[in-house]
Structures are given as C-alpha cells and as structure tokens.
Amino acid sequence: MIAAFVLNATLVAIVVLIHFEALNKLSLITPKIPIQHRLRVLIGVSGALIAHVIEIFVFAFGYYFMVNQAGFGTLIGRFDNSLMDCAYFSFVNFTTLGFGDIVATGDIRFLAGLEALTGLVLITWTASFMFIEMEKQWKDR
C-alpha cells in the first residue's frame, strides 16, 4: 500500500511538472514565431496535445510496472499485459471516457482514479491556457 502511494504520488507529480513546463514553454515560444496568429494557435494546440500524450504514457509506464510486479494488483478484461494495452487503459482513464473493457483490480485502482482526476485537471488547465493565449493572439493582430 505504501509503495503504491509513493508510486502514484510520483507519477502525478511528474505529469503535473511536464504539463507546467510544456505550457510555460508554449507561452514563451509561440508569441515570438513570425507567422500568422492562427498558425501560432495551432502550434499551441499541437504542443498541448503532445504534452498530454507524453503524460498519458508516463501513467502507462506506471501501469506496466505495477501489473508486472507482485502486490499491486492487475488489469483484467481485454488486456494482454502489453505496454500498448497499458497505454490504451491510460488514454481511457486520462480522458475519463471509462469504456470498461479493461478494469483495474487491487492497488492499481487508486492510480486509475488519480489519473482520471489528474487528466481532468490538466485538460481544463490546457483549455484555460488556450483561451488566454488565443485572446492574446487575436488582440495582437
């Protein structure tokens, strides 16, 4: 239980740090690019999506580690213990889709819940960031 808590807290801290740094870099770089404001917004959206995919894979590696170690629980259903299935499960959780074809058991359930909450917060953070950046871009034209 303590190992799961430490691992979960570490994963959440890593993805929040990745997200913060990605949005910070995007806010510094995109205004300086000498292109149309619409293209700068597209670069911002693309950068944010890339950050989200990286964050999802951080969680996927966490799931992969946990399912291959004793004592953390497992993922059941249409799951073959592959990293790609862990990534799929992570995408479903991060976006809070919750298809249910793969289900967490044991301590991994806590990480699945934390990932959904973290994903919700990071996606709304991105939406707020993009709204502010778009306002800036359109004011500058």
What pLDDT sits at residue 140? 55
- All residue ranges of the chain with pLDDT < 70 are 139-141
DSSP string, 25-83: HHHHHGGGS-S-HHHHHHHHHHHHHHHHHHHHHHHHHHHHHHHTSTTS-EEEES--S-H
Please tell me the predicted confidence (pLDDT) of residue 80.
Answer: 95
What is the tally of structural domains in the chain?
1
Per-residue confidence (pLDDT) for residue 135, from 0 to 100: 86
Domain of 112 in residue numbering reads as 2-140
pLDDT at 141: 56
Q: What is the mean pLDDT of the chain?
A: 94
User: Which CATH number does the domain housing residue 117 bear?
Assistant: 1.10.287.70
For the full predicted model, state whether its pTM sits above 0.75.
Answer: yes
Question: From the CA atom positions of the chain, what is the Rg in Å?
Answer: 17
2 burial level (CB within 10 Å; 0-12, 13-18, 19+): exposed
What would the pLDDT profile of 16-28 be if each residue is shown by its tens digit? 999 999 999 999 9
